[in-house]
Amino acid sequence: MISLITGASFGIGEACAYRLARDGYRVILAARSAEKLRRLETELNDQHGPDTALALPLDVVDAGAVHAAIRELPPDWQHIDVLINNAGLALNLVPVYENSVEEIDTMIDVNIKGVLYLIRAVVPGMLERGRGHIVNIGSTAGHELYPGGTIYSATKHAVLALTNGLKQDLHGTPLRVTAVSPGLTETDFSRVRFKGDEARAGAVYADTHALTAEEVADAVAYCVHAPESVNVQELLVMPRVQSPGIRVVRGEAARGL
Ligand code: NJP
């Protein structure tokens, strides 16, 4: 079984790569950080045997590059069984009219168009082979809005809509479609959002008990390993300290969990 994971260089995508390789999958590792991907490829091949992992340096916003990368995969890596559309990001935390054009474009390009480009490149082959599972990483922000996160939330609402629409489009086929929507998860996500401001990023996870990337990978694995007759349409997974309304418990009550 082969899984292609976007955003596999860090965070949730990297954790999915470790998890699925451990579960016997061969994993294609896609992201922009080529060196990091090659190190991960070597580590997984050392751990689980040669040909377990393949680094695929790729910017998901480049439609031509996505198409070519999938078309030119080595022959024994072409039959992708599970596509995990995980690459994504939020930029800045400001009212929507204060986001720069670059922030607007990047969030929409990576979070929405990147998902669509991968679907377009991978799903036809899955249909030909009569098997496949597309897992899109959404967010609690796909259900709720929070101050300063309007564009990010809009893109994650779109990911949920794309997931549900794709399931409809594939109705009656053997393919499965799932959204895994995590809540607060401690990764590089906030470092990226605040453009390297460690203090601001650290404050997001301070004095509370966020999910780990591995816990989100567990949720992905649950959906992927479900019997073929089962389609988990969406799995919304939050840390216990988080509740709807994007409320997060901090301090004493969050400790010791
Ligand atoms: O974030 P991070 P997460 N082309 O920053 C890649 C969602 N989520 O793991 O290209 C290709 O550690 C980037 O790789 P690189 C979130 O929206 C998270 O937390 O090398 N890849 C890196 O591997 C996202 O959809 C939280 O820089 C691109 C990866 O994306 C998913 O979880 C909460 C790329 C990001 O790793 C994974 O995020 C939530 C591009 N153009 C939803 N741009 C949370 N962490 O709290 C970025 O609700 N990447």
Q: Which atom of ligand 1 is found nearest the CA of 106? A: 41
CATH number at residue 41: 3.40.50.720
Q: How far is CA 129 from CA 78, 124, 138, 174, 186, in A?
A: 11, 9, 26, 10, 37
Quick one: average pLDDT of 215-226?
A: 98
Q: Which atom of ligand 1 is found nearest the CA of 12? A: 9
Rounded distance between C-alpha atoms, residue 95 and residue 197, angstroms: 19
Q: What is the pLDDT of residue 246?
A: 86
Q: Residue 143: which domain range?
A: 2-254
Q: What is the pLDDT of residue 256?
A: 63
Contact 52, 23 (CB under 8 A): no
Contact 36, 17 (CB under 8 A): no
Rounded to two decimals, what is the model's pTM? Answer: 0.98
Contact 105, 91 (CB under 8 A): no
Query: Strands, DSSP E only, in 75-228?
Result: 82-85, 133-137, 176-182
Quick one: average pLDDT of 6-35?
A: 98
Whether pLDDT at 257 is above 80: no
Q: How many CB atoms lie within 10 A of CB 56?
A: 22
Cα of 19 from ligand 1 centre, angstroms = 17
Region of 208 on the Ramachandran plot (φ > 0 left; ψ -120 to 50 alpha; else beta): beta
Domain count, the chain: 1
Q: Where are the alpha helices (DSSP H) in 188-230?
A: 189-193, 198-205, 213-225
Sign of CA dihedral 6, 37, 32, 126: negative
Q: What is the pLDDT of residue 213?
A: 98
Whether pLDDT at 212 is above 80: yes
Cα of 172 from ligand 1 centre, angstroms = 32
Rounded distance between C-alpha atoms, residue 136 and residue 163, angstroms: 7
The residues carrying an active-site annotation are 152
For ligand 1, atom 29, name the residue with the nearest CA.
Answer: 7
Of 35, 129, 41, 6, the C-alpha closest to 79 is 129
Coil vs helix vs strand at 158: helix
